[in-house]
Chains A and B, each alone.
Chain A
Amino acid sequence: MSPDKPASGDKALSLYVPEPEFRPGDTPDFSDAPIPKAGAAPRPEIDVEASDIRDLAYTIIRVMNRDGKAVGPWAGLLSDDQIKVGLEDMLRVRAFDARMLMAQRQGKTSFYMQALGEEAIACAFQKTLQPGDMNFPTYRQQGLLLSTDYPVVDMMNQIYSNAADPLMGRQLPIMYSSKENGFFTISGNLATQFIQGVGWAMASAIKGDTKIAASWIGDGSTAESDFHSALVFASTYRAPVVLNIVNNQWAISTFQGIARGKAATFASRGLGFGIPALRVDGNDYLAVYAVSKWAVDRARAGHGPTLIEHVTYRVGGHSTSDDPSAYRPKEESDAWPLGDPVERLKNHLIAKGVWTQAQHVQARERIEIEIAEAQKLAEKNGTLHDGPHSTPASMFDDVYKEMPLHLRRQRQEAGI
C-alpha cells in the first residue's frame, strides 16, 4: 500500500487551521454575532456554585442599552459622581496613550503599547479593589495605575528610561511596577503572572489576611500552560483571586480562534475546574464594574476564585512595532458591535441628564492639558535617546540583594 494514498474507503485526513472571518480587503460584518440584550443576564449570589451559573460563561453580561440606559440586575451600583470619575479615568488613559504613542514616533523612546478601545476594563476593575490588594497585570492594563493616584509623570519617566525612572532604566517601556498601588512588576513574558497572582492570593489566605489578588491575561496567552496552572491551583486551594481574561480578539496578528479553535468561550474554561465563569461586555464600564465587584466580593468573602472573560476589541496595533493593516481590515474596529467604551459611558451620563457634550469636551481638554504638562515635566528628566539616564554602574545593582564578587569584578572591568 502506498503510504501517501489512503486505503480504499478511508477518507484522507486534513488539518484544520482556523482563519479569521475577515482579512484586509474584506468588508467586516458582525451582524451575525450574537450580542445579548443589556440587562438580560441574571445576577447570582456570590457564594454560587459554578455549575449553577454555566450560562454566564457563554453569554455577554451587559448593563448599558442602546439608549445609554443602565438596565437589569447588574445595574445601579455606582453613583453619578463615581461614573464621572470612571469616564475621566478612561479619558486619561486615552490621552496618555495618544501622547506616549506620539513620543515613541518622535523617537523619544523605543516602544509603546496603547489600550485603545479597552480602557473600560482596567479602569472599572481598579475601582473594585481595596488598598493592599494586588494586580498581576499584562502590558495593556495601564488603566489600573491611571485609575489610582500613582503619578502620571513617573509612568512617563519609566517610558523614557530617564534619570527619574523609578525602575532605573532596566525595563522596556510600560513595564511599570508599584507595590504601593497594587500593581505587580510587569514581566513582558506572557502568562507567568497569571499563576503568580494565584500564589500571592494563596499567601494572603495562609496568613489569614483580608487582601485579594487579581491576575490578568490576554486571549492569546490563555494557550500558555501557566493559564492552566493558575486555574488548577486557584481551584484546588480556593484562592482569593479574580482571574481576568481580556479577550481583545487579536494576539499580535493571530486571531483569537487560534487559541481555542472557536470551540467554546474562554470563560467556559473555568467550568471544568468548578470555577464560576462570567463573560462580560468589556466595553461597558458599568458591566465590567458590576461583574468585577461581584468577583472581588466573592474572593474576599472566602468563596474562592472567579474567571472573567472581558470581551473587547484591540483597536490599535499590538504595539508600536505592529501594523495591523497587514492582517485585518482597517474598518474592522468600526464594525465591531460593542462600540467604544468612552462614547458609551458618555452617552449614559448624558441620557441620565447629568452630563453634557460641552462638559465632556471640557473634561477631555482639561485631562489632555494635564497629560501634556506631565509630559513636559517628565522630559525635563530626560528621554531614552537623549538622556540623562541612571548611572551605567547601577546596571550591576540589585541583581542580588548583595553584589557577589563576580559582579563586582565585572563592574570593575567595565570601568564604570
Chain B
Amino acid sequence: MARMTMIQAIRSAMENTMERDDNVVVFGEDVGFFGGVFRCTQGLQEKFGPQRCFDSPINESGIIGAAVGMATYGMRPCVEIQFADYVYPGYDQIASEASRIRYRSNNDFTVPMVVRMPTGGGIFGGQTHSQSPEALFAHISGIKTVIPSNPYDAKGLLIAAIEDDDPVMFLEPKRLYNGPFDGHHERPVTPWSKHELGEVSDEHYTVPLGKAAIRREGAEVTILAYGTMVYVAEAATQETGIDAEIIDLRTILPLDLETIEASVAKTGRCVIVHEATKTCGFGAELMAVVMEACFYHLQAPVIRVTGYDTPYPHAHEWEYFPGPKRVGDALKKVMEAA
C-alpha cells in the first residue's frame, strides 16, 4: 500500500490493466513520450512501448472513432481527451456509435472502450478548461458515466471501466488530482497523502460501476453529490452542524437508485449538488428520481445547488463555483422548511 495522488492512482490503474491484458492500449493528445498534460500516462510508453501508448493527432472525433474501431476489433482502448471541454468533436462517435453498436448489431460487435477526460473547475481554467459535461453523457443510453472523487476509487473504478464490456466515459475532477478540495480556496491545499482515501494498493483491484458510496451517514438530510462536490458537502455539513447523509454517486449512469431512494426515504430531505450548469443538469434527473420514488417521505422541497447557467467565468471562479456557503445555505433551508 502507498499513498497516491489521484493522478498516480489513475496511472496505476492503466499500468495494472496493460500488464494483465495486451489488448489494453492508451492514446490521446500528448499522452505518449511526454506522459500527458496532467501526467496521468507518465512512464506508460517507456514501459509498454509506443504501440501500446502513443500520441494522437489533435482530433477528438478521430481519437474516439479510432478507439471505437479498435474496440470492435477486440481491443480495450483507454483514450484520453485532454479536457472534457474538448470532447464535443468526438460526441457523435460516443452518442451515435459507441453507445449503440452492441444494440444495433445484436451483440455482433461491442465497444469495450474507456474515454478518460479531466472535468470541472476550480483551477482558473476559464470557460474552455472547466466544464462539467456529464449530463450530456448520462442522457445517452448504452454508455456508462463514472466520476470518481478520490484516488482509491479512481483506480478501482478505472480498472472496472477498462474491464467492462461496454463503453465508459470516465470524468476525472481535475481539482481533485492532487488533493481533496472543499471549496475553501483561501486555505492551504490538503494533499492526498494526508487523506485516508489516498491509500491505494499497487495491486489490481476494482470498485464496481453503478454503486454509490455513503461518505457520511446522517439522519436529517441526504446530500447527493459526486466528484469535487463530495468535499464541499462535507465542509458544509461540518460548518452547519446539520446531520447530513452524504452520498457520493461515483457512477451517474447506471445510477445507484436503491441507495438514493433508501437514504431519502430515511432522511425525508434532499439537497443535490453539482458543479455543472443547472438547467437540464444531472441534478434535474436526480430530483426527478427522488420525486418519483420518495415524494411521500419528503418534508421539504428538494433543492439543487449547482453552477449557474453561464459559461464558466474566469475572474469569477469562486462566485460561480458552488462552495460550502451555498451548500450550507441550502441545508439550512431544507431544515427550516418543516
Closest 5 A-B residue pairs measured CB to CB? A199-B69, A199-B66, A229-B62, A195-B65, A404-B254
Binds B, one of A10-18, A289-297, A342-350, A394-402: A394-402
Which residues from chain A contact B68 at a C-beta distance below 8 Å?
A: 196, 199
User: What would be 30 A-B contacts, judged by CB atoms less than 8 Å apart?
Assistant: A166-B108, A168-B106, A177-B105, A177-B108, A185-B104, A189-B97, A192-B65, A192-B96, A195-B62, A199-B65, A199-B66, A199-B70, A199-B73, A201-B69, A203-B70, A203-B73, A203-B74, A207-B23, A207-B73, A207-B75, A226-B61, A228-B59, A229-B59, A229-B61, A233-B62, A236-B57, A398-B103, A399-B102, A400-B166, A406-B255
Is there a chain B Cβ closer than 8 Å to A202's Cβ?
Answer: yes
Min CB distance A248 to B, Å, is 24
Interface size, chain A (Cβ < 8 Å): 46
Q: How far is it, in angstroms, between the C-alpha of A168 and the C-alpha of B103 when the chains are bound?
A: 9
Q: How far is it, in angstroms, between the C-alpha of A202 and the C-alpha of B59 when the chains are bound?
A: 16
Which residues from chain A contact B56 at a C-beta distance below 8 Å?
A: 233
- Given A200-B73, A226-B61, A185 contacting B51 (CB threshold 8 A): no
Contact: B72 with A184, CB < 8 Å? yes
Contact: A179 with B142, CB < 8 Å? no
Contact: A170 with B65, CB < 8 Å? no
Q: How far is it, in angstroms, between the C-alpha of A205 and the C-alpha of B155 when the chains are bound?
A: 29
Q: How far is it, in angstroms, between the C-alpha of A176 and the C-alpha of B165 when the chains are bound?
A: 22
Interface string of B45-63 (1 = CB under 8 A from A): 0000001100011010110
Contact: B89 with A405, CB < 8 Å? no
Q: How far is it, in angstroms, between the C-alpha of A233 and the C-alpha of B69 when the chains are bound?
A: 12
Is there a chain B Cβ closer than 8 Å to A136's Cβ?
Answer: yes
Which residues from chain A contact B191 at a C-beta distance below 8 Å?
A: none
- In the complex, what residue of chain A is closest to B70 when comparing beta carbons? A203
Q: How far is it, in angstroms, between the C-alpha of A181 and the C-alpha of B89 when the chains are bound?
A: 31
The residues in A between 128 and 151 inclusive whose CB is less than 8 angstroms from any CB of B are 134, 136
Which residues from chain B contact A404 at a C-beta distance below 8 Å?
A: 210, 253-254
Which residues from chain A contact B62 at a C-beta distance below 8 Å?
A: 195, 226, 229-230, 232-233
The residues in A between 174 and 196 inclusive whose CB is less than 8 angstroms from any CB of B are 175, 177-179, 184-185, 187, 189, 192, 195-196
Contact: A198 with B102, CB < 8 Å? no
Which residues from chain A contact B103 at a C-beta distance below 8 Å?
A: 170, 398-399
Is there a chain B Cβ closer than 8 Å to A204's Cβ?
Answer: yes
Which residues from chain B contact A196 at a C-beta distance below 8 Å?
A: 65-66, 68-69, 72, 93, 97
Contact of A200 among B70, B89, B142, B258 (CB under 8 A): B70
Min CB distance B114 to A, Å, is 14
Contact: A167 with B104, CB < 8 Å? yes
Contact: A405 with B106, CB < 8 Å? no
Contact: B57 with A405, CB < 8 Å? no
Contact: A206 with B254, CB < 8 Å? no
Contact: A184 with B258, CB < 8 Å? no
Min CB distance B87 to A, Å, is 14
Contact: A398 with B106, CB < 8 Å? yes
Min CB distance A139 to B, Å, is 13
Min CB distance B213 to A, Å, is 17
Q: How far is it, in angstroms, between the C-alpha of A226 and the C-alpha of B97 when the chains are bound?
A: 13
Is there a chain B Cβ closer than 8 Å to A270's Cβ?
Answer: no
Is there a chain A Cβ closer than 8 Å to B169's Cβ?
Answer: no
Contact: A226 with B109, CB < 8 Å? no
